[in-house]
Amino acid sequence: MECKSCKHWLCKVESHYKDGDTEEVLVRWDGGQKGMCQFGPLKGKMTEPDFGCNRYEVGGPAANITYKEGASWTHKRQGPCPDCRSAECTFPTCELLGNCRGMENCIAQRIANEGPGGRCVGTGKVFYYDDGFIGENKYKVHPKEKVKLPDKELACPNCCEEVAEKWSMCPFCGTRLKERKLAYES
């Protein structure tokens, strides 16, 4: 008997979202290429679909079903940056199937060597939204959220800190904000 038809073989993750009157169901499959045994001698181990063991039971594969309040794009979790992580990391699939080795093992040395850049801005971590969107750290918002970008007249062009309109110099970094119009230049 093979794992692909065992009731203890987890390869489907199903999430139900309820946002007011709207209901949404997201289903993620590992593609049937691998799954995680939930019982027996291989508990918690990734297995191939054609593998079999002496604890086989008819009725699979198993599904992990969760119920969450709110829309799918409002739920997020932090994970390794896809631009910086090591090639063998399969996040978020490894986290969903329970065999993630942890973020500290996913981040490659590229950040240290090349410095800040990409969507993680040098932190090595980004947000993974339940609807599949991978965030970035510059504004840290989902495209469905209303983005409030800083007003160009009210933010320092150098450090992006909020400043008062009447200031001529940024109190945070000392950058000259704008040329003052003199009274005789009207």
Instruction: Kindly report, residue by residue over 80-112, the tens digit of the pLDDT.
Output: 887 776 666 667 767 666 667 666 666 555 555
Measured in degrees and rounded to the nearest 5, phi and psi for residue 29 equal: -110, 150
CA-closest candidate to residue 11, choices 75, 61, 57: 61
Distance CA 44, CA 78 (A): 22
Residue 39 reports pLDDT greater than 60: yes
Distance CA 129, CA 17 (A): 13
Q: What percent of the chain has pLDDT over 70?
A: 71
Average pLDDT, the chain: 75
Q: What is the mean pLDDT of residues 38-42?
A: 75
Residue with the bigger pLDDT between 129 and 186: it is: 129
How do the domains of the chain map onto residue ranges?
Answer: 1-70, 76-146, 150-180
**3-class DSSP state for residue 95?**
helix
Under 8 Å between Cβ of 159 and 144: no
Q: What is the mean pLDDT of residues 116-134?
A: 79
Q: Which amino acid is at 3?
A: C
| Strand 9-19 versus strand 62-69 pairing type | parallel
Residue with the bigger pLDDT between 18 and 57: it is: 18
Task: Report yes or no on whether pTM surpasses 0.75.
Answer: no
Residue 185 reports pLDDT greater than 60: no
Under 8 Å between Cβ of 118 and 135: no
CA-closest candidate to residue 108, choices 131, 129, 84: 84
Q: What percent of the chain has pLDDT over 90?
A: 4
pLDDT at residue number 179: 56
